[in-house]
């Protein structure tokens, strides 16, 4: 569990008079995959030199997850948090957000030099705010353009409503994202080589009210981009991906039977500026019929880590008749002395159609994230290789009618001394 340190400023105690607390104003919220990081702004009307205020915070927040970010000119002499320690541990360890519960109550003992309105900020993390995202693409009748829309569903079971002056979403877990950001900063300061995968970029949501229950937010307004048909051969998929820096050296890895299926697909150009920071989620490709109804052409996922730097998104709509592929490993060399693994593959595409077939081959460099390609165009004319993510590449080629094409590529994995 990611822990924040409690900051309690101790001072002398004095008489306390009853006072009132206004609703939080201008909260700052960052939504991660596993936690929500909240800076809750609280306006306090202080009418005496010493006072106690009671503030509602999400159920399950423990003292170790709470910090005073800004005292706003007040001296905070003590913090009292009424919570069930066992319940807090149960909530923190839960794989999914717990059901709705009553909010916790935070008591603040403060001292002020003069009466007036003060604003303080407290920070904490909670797993009682979860989110999901879904996308739709609507194709034009000519199927040459598609309009992309995205919606965010936020489920709040914290027991309180949050009113964010600024909110953002980061498509990563809190701990790994901060570690990756620290690694990137250190590399920039020292000039060292950075990892192959940049941390997920924040997606700004602006001003947002997250009430109890479910809140729906428009994540992406209608955005139209070019679409075209393409054949896709993806024989392995992401199931073997090892996100570590040191490559796996199991000789059996990736040597088994690969799929021969080539799919009829549509590829949709990305608008990098419009889609920056969008979280991964399912997408449906729709087409409007003449009577105004919609049919589903295909389903896929968008913006996964594996495709974070891709130029296009692809959505399969069926099996490509007359076109098939095979994947064969020709060589595997494990060189412990030189700290490298060399793996060579040959992709064979067979086109039985009477017309040429444009094919996008998607390969996954699954052994680890420290890799480089060698000879991606050997023995083949016109092959275009592109990186799509930390362990994913695409190879584009055209297979002549009633013919076959072989593509050889070599990947070299390395690790530290």
Q: What is the mean pLDDT of residues 41-49?
A: 91
The reply to whether 146 falls in a domain is no
Tell me how far CA of residue 346 lies from CA of 189, 327, 391, in angstroms: 41, 6, 18
The reply to whether 138 falls in a domain is no
60 band by pLDDT with thresholds 50, 70 and 90: confident
The reply to whether 281 falls in a domain is no
Q: pLDDT at residue 353 above 60?
A: yes
- For every residue of 225-257, DSSP letters joined together read EEEEEEEEE-SS-STT---SSSPP--TTTT-S-
**37 and 185 both lie in a single domain:** yes
**242 and 189 both lie in a single domain:** no
**358 and 243 both lie in a single domain:** yes
DSSP secondary-structure letter at 337? Answer: T
The reply to whether 221 falls in a domain is no
In the chain, the number of structural domains is 2
- Please check whether residue 76 is in contact with residue 150, taking contact to mean a CB–CB distance below 8 angstroms: no
16 band by pLDDT with thresholds 50, 70 and 90: very low
**45 and 174 both lie in a single domain:** yes
The reply to whether 348 falls in a domain is yes
**53 and 178 both lie in a single domain:** yes
Instruction: Give the model confidence (pLDDT) of 171-227 as tens digits.
Output: 999 888 776 665 655 555 555 555 556 778 899 999 999 999 999 999 998 989 999
Instruction: Give the contacts of 142 (CB within 8 A, at least 6 positions apart).
Output: none
Neighbour count for residue 223 (Cβ, 10 Å): 15
Backbone angles phi, psi at 198, to 5 degrees: -70, 155
The reply to whether 136 falls in a domain is no
**197 and 264 both lie in a single domain:** no
The pLDDT of residue 384 is: 83
Q: pLDDT at residue 14 above 80?
A: no
* 14-18, 132-136, 205-209, 374-378: least confidently modelled range: 14-18
The pLDDT of residue 287 is: 92
- For every residue of 379-402, DSSP letters joined together read T-SS-EEEEEETTEEEEEEEEPTT
**19 and 87 both lie in a single domain:** yes
**46 and 170 both lie in a single domain:** yes
Neighbour-count burial of 259, counting CB atoms closer than 10 A to its CB (0-12 exposed, 13-18 middle, 19+ buried): middle
Mean pLDDT, rounded, of the chain: 84
**117 and 166 both lie in a single domain:** yes
**166 and 206 both lie in a single domain:** yes
The pLDDT of residue 312 is: 93
**10 and 95 both lie in a single domain:** yes
End-to-end CA distance of the chain: 32
Neighbour count for residue 36 (Cβ, 10 Å): 26
Q: What is the mean pLDDT of residues 145-172?
A: 93
Instruction: Give the model confidence (pLDDT) of 224-271 as tens digits.
Output: 999 999 999 999 999 999 988 899 999 999 887 799 999 999 999 998
The reply to whether 220 falls in a domain is no
The reply to whether 298 falls in a domain is no
Is the pLDDT higher at 3 or at 45?
45
**204 and 237 both lie in a single domain:** no
Can you give the pTM of this predicted structure? 0.80
Domain limits for position 1: 1-127+162-210
The SS3 of residue 93 is: helix
């Amino acid at each position: 569990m990611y822990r924040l340190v409690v900051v309690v400023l101790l001072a002398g105690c004095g008489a306390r008079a009853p006072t009132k607390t206004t609703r939080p104003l201008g909260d700052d919220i960052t939504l991660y995959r596993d936690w929500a990081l909240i800076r809750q702004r609280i306006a306090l009307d202080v009418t005496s030199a010493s006072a106690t205020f009671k503030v509602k915070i999400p159920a399950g927040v423990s003292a170790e997850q709470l910090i005073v970010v800004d005292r706003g000119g007040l001296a905070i002499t003590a913090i009292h948090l009424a919570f069930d320690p066992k319940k807090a541990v149960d909530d923190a360890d839960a794989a999914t957000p717990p059901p709705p519960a009553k909010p916790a109550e935070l008591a603040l003992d403060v001292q002020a030099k003069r009466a007036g309105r003060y604003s303080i900020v407290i920070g904490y993390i909670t797993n009682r705010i979860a989110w999901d995202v879904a996308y739709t693409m609507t194709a034009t009748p000519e199927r040459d353009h598609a309009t992309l829309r995205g919606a965010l569903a936020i489920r709040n079971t914290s027991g309180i409503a949050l009113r964010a002056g600024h909110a953002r979403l980061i498509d990563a877990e809190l701990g790994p994202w901060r570690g990756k950001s620290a690694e990137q900063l250190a590399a920039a300061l020292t000039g060292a080589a950075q990892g192959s995968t940049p941390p997920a970029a924040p997606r700004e949501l602006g001003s947002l009210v997250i009430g109890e229950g479910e809140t729906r937010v428009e994540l992406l307004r209608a955005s139209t981009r070019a679409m075209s048909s393409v054949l896709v051969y993806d024989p392995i998929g992401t199931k073997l991906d090892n996100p570590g820096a040191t490559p796996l050296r199991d000789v059996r890895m990736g040597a088994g039977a690969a799929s021969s299926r080539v799919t009829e697909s549509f590829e949709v150009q990305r608008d990098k500026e419009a889609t920056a920071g969008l979280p991964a989620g399912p997408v449906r490709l729709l087409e409007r019929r003449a009577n105004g109804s919609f049919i589903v052409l295909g389903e896929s996922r968008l913006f996964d880590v594996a495709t974070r730097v891709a130029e296009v998104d692809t959505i399969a709509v069926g099996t490509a008749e007359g076109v098939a592929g095979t994947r064969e490993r020709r060589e595997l060399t494990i060189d412990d002395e030189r700290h490298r693994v060399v793996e060579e593959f040959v992709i064979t595409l067979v086109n039985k159609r009477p017309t040429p077939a444009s094919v996008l081959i998607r390969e996954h460099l699954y052994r680890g994230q420290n890799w480089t390609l060698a000879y991606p165009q050997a023995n083949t004319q016109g092959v275009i290789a592109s990186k799509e993510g930390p362990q994913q590449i695409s190879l584009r080629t055209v297979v002549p009618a009633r013919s076959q094409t072989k593509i050889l590529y070599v990947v070299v994995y390395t690790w530290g001394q």
